[in-house]
């Protein structure tokens, strides 16, 4: 105790030095631990960055910014989608009420008026059709009441069938053999089987695709005009397949049985097709005579209507 009293300042200084050394050691330990955690995080970030850099495509570097390029490409893609929507405009249902649901009497009246209009448009376009042809609505034509829950789908199909028929009329095909659609009503069970397809509409995340099959007789320019009509339409027609053969070569076309007739005679119920005469004339001196004889063809086209779903 005497020594401590004589060396009190030294003792106090030594105690303070020990306390400071302990504080420094504790600070070093905390700092080391914090630095270790930071180094581990830095290594994780570095490894993740190296992984992104090695990806194909990579985010880029100081000269190439692939992320920004991807954003620009996404913007261009969205612009293209917006422009493409102009070619997938929906076809208006028949009828298309704006202030309520489709009713039985409303659809019956609209259906008869639409069929009568198509029957008048066909001869005006020099297109032959079967007498009293119902354009695939034979099962509904004689009804005034329809299967519950089917009127909206039938109205959509009536508008689509009318649009398809008018494309064929605009192309001035020689003869419309028939149009087939998917079954959407219990009433379709009692209709002619030649009016329907075995397929059904397909719904994806973007659109509803509804198939139709049209069978008609025409010469090659009219078939080309029909395809051009589908391609130039703004209603989202996509031709899936086309089968073309001589008009009298088979008794089946597109799943619809067609009546056979002797060579040189029209099928029952249709007028005789108008042949294209071969050009006549004197050939040039020393040349060969050119003869063009167009053959009437039967075409079966499977087409889908792509109807975009509303934006979410």
Mean pLDDT of the region 227-255: 80
Is pLDDT of 58 > 90? no
| Residue of higher predicted confidence among 209 and 21 | 209
Is pLDDT of 72 > 80? yes
pLDDT at 245: 93
| Residue of higher predicted confidence among 88 and 283 | 88
Mean pLDDT of the region 68-75: 82
pTM for the whole thing? 0.65
Phi, psi dihedral angles at 166 (to 5 degrees): -70, -30
CB contact set of 287 (below 8 Å; sequence gap of 6+) = none
Which pLDDT tens digit goes with each residue over 168-196?
Answer: 999 999 999 999 999 999 999 988 999 99
| Residue of higher predicted confidence among 171 and 37 | 171
| Nearest CA-CA partner of 255 in 200, 211, 193 | 193
| Nearest CA-CA partner of 183 in 193, 175, 174 | 193
Give residue 252's pLDDT band: very low, low, confident or very high (50, 70, 90).
Answer: very low
Quick one: 83 exposed, middle or buried, by C-beta within 10 A (0-12, 13-18, 19+)?
exposed
Which pLDDT tens digit goes with each residue over 93-146?
Answer: 999 998 889 999 999 999 999 999 999 999 999 999 999 999 999 999 999 999
Q: Over the chain, what is the mean pLDDT?
A: 81
Is pLDDT of 75 > 90? no
Could you give the angle at which helices 151-171 and 104-124 cross, rounded to 10 degrees? 10
């Amino acid at each position: 105790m005497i020594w401590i009293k004589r060396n009190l300042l030294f003792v106090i200084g030594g105690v303070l030095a020990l306390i400071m050394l302990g504080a420094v050691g504790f600070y070093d330990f905390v700092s080391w631990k914090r630095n270790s955690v930071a180094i581990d995080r830095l290594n994780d970030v570095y490894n993740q960055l190296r992984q992104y850099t090695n990806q194909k495509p990579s985010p880029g570097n100081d000269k190439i910014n692939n992320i920004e390029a991807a954003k620009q490409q996404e913007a261009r893609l969205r612009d293209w989608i917006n422009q493409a929507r102009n070619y997938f405009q929906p076809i208006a249902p028949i009828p298309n009420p704006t202030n309520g649901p489709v009713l039985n009497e409303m659809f019956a009246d609209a259906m008869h008026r639409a069929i009568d209009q198509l029957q008048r448009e066909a001869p005006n376009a020099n297109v032959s059709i079967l007498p009293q042809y119902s354009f695939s609505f034979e099962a509904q034509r004689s009804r005034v009441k329809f299967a519950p829950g089917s009127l909206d789908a039938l109205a959509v199909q009536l508008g689509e069938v009318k649009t398809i028929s008018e494309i064929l009329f605009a192309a001035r095909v020689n003869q419309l053999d028939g149009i087939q659609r998917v079954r959407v009503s219990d009433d379709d069970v009692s209709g002619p089987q030649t009016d329907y397809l075995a397929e059904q509409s397909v719904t994806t995340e973007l659109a509803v695709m509804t198939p139709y099959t049209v069978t008609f007789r025409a010469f090659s320019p009219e078939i080309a005009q029909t395809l051009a009509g589908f391609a130039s339409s703004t209603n989202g027609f996509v031709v899936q397949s086309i089968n073309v053969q001589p008009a009298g070569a088979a008794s089946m076309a597109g799943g619809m049985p067609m009546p056979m007739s002797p060579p040189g005679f029209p099928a029952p119920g249709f007028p005789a097709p108008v042949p294209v005469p071969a050009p006549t004339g004197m050939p040039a001196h020393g040349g060969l005579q050119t003869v063009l004889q167009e053959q009437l063809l039967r075409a079966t086209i499977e087409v889908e209507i792509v109807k975009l779903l509303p934006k979410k």
